[in-house]
C-alpha cells in the first residue's frame, strides 16, 4: 500500500508542477483579468505541490521508521510550510477573484 501511495504522490507532484508551469507560461500570453487569474491558479498549484511534497515526506518517513527521529520542531516546520503555502495561495486566488469584479 505504501508503494501505491508513494507512486501516487510522485505522479501528483509531476502533474501539479507541469500544470503550474503551463498556467504560468500561458498567463504571459494573456492580458488583464485573464492574466491575473491564470497566474493565481499557477500559484495555487504550486501550493498544492508543496502540500503533496510534505505529505509524501511524512508517508515515506513513517514507512521507513524515520518519523520518531524527527524532532517536533522539524515536523512542525514542515507542516508550517505546507499550511502557509496553501493558505497564502488560497488568499491570493480569493484576492484575484475579488479584484476581477
**Top-confidence residue, 68 or 101:** 68
pLDDT tens sequence across 57-99 = 999 999 999 999 999 999 999 999 999 999 999 999 999 999 9
Helix (H, G, I), strand (E, B) or coil at 14: helix
Domain that holds residue 65: 2-99
Could you give the number of structural domains in the chain? 1
Q: Is 64 exposed, middle or buried (0-12, 13-18, 19+ CB in 10 A)?
A: exposed
pLDDT value at 8 more than 90: yes
Cell numbers of 84, please?
502557509
Cell numbers of 26, please?
500561458
Amino acid at each position: 500500500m505504501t508503494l501505491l501511495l508513494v507512486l501516487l504522490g510522485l505522479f501528483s507532484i509531476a502533474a501539479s508542477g507541469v500544470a503550474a508551469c503551463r498556467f504560468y507560461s500561458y498567463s504571459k500570453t494573456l492580458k488583464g483579468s485573464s492574466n491575473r487569474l491564470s497566474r493565481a491558479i499557477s500559484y495555487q498549484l504550486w501550493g498544492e505541490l508543496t502540500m503533496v511534497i510534505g505529505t509524501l515526506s511524512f508517508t515515506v518517513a513513517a514507512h521507513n521508521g524515520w518519523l520518531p527521529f524527527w524532532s517536533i520542531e522539524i515536523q512542525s516546520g514542515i507542516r508550517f510550510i505546507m499550511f502557509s503555502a496553501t493558505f497564502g495561495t488560497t488568499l491570493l486566488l480569493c484576492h484575484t477573484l475579488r479584484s476581477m469584479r
